[in-house]
Amino acid sequence: MLDLSEELLLLAVHEEKGSIPFDASNKIDFCLAGALLIELELMNRVKADKKTLQVINRTSTGNSRLDTLLNLIDHSKKVRSPSYWITKSKGTFKHLRHEYLEQLVNQGILREEERQIFWIFPSTAYPLRDTLLKREIRDRVRLVILREETPSPRTARLIALVHACGLTNTIFDKEERKDARKKVKALAKEDLLVQAIIKTIQGSNSGAYAGSF
């Protein structure tokens, strides 16, 4: 079974181009970092509210990346906010996007291709080897939103991450998007960690904008 970060990344990558849409590309590193915290919460290792994120179970998750983050939170001298740990997670795992892309390549889900942009600039693309798995994930999201099926906790968190990453339009057809955006946003509003991800992204963008003057 893929974890949340892998599912989110698979939804983001274009089947043929092997690239991530520009808007999502600016957000996805924060979303992947935040998804690690969501995984810990789903495993009942941490508990978050609007102002704090704390360890409630120190037992190993069996995942080295998650255990590293869990250990960082557990040994922090101060109780920190979710936004702090999202930023810390992103800084700790600096190549998270690339690592997950490579994981998907190694699993035979994506393939790695060296390409050139404008026949000059080298670039690596990750088109899908088989679209079936992505279609299954996409359909799971669509069923919840369009047919109002009750999502599993993991699917609800994935849908909230879809909103944070700006991927709603890539999952729903043009005539579905207006209604879908409202429902996806409503799910995201109920998710404290995803709201912290959105806040962190907005803060990062504001800082970058201010720094340009």
State the average pLDDT over residues 78-84.
97
Contact by Cβ (8 Å): 69, 82? no
Residues of the chain by 3-state class (helix, strand, coil), percent to 5 = 60, 10, 30
Q: pTM to 2 decimals? A: 0.92
**What was the pLDDT predicted at 41?**
98
Instruction: Kindly report, residue by residue over 142-183, the tens digit of the pLDDT.
Output: 999 999 889 999 999 999 999 999 999 999 999 999 999 999
Q: Residue range 91-118: average pLDDT?
A: 91
Q: State the Cα angle at 163 between 158 and 169, rounded to 5°.
A: 110
Identify the architecture of domain 4-205 in CATH.
Orthogonal Bundle (1.10)
Helix (H) or strand (E) holding 203: helix 192-211
Specify the 3-state DSSP secondary structure of 113. Answer: strand
Taking the CB of residue 42, how many other CB atoms lie within 10 A of it? 14
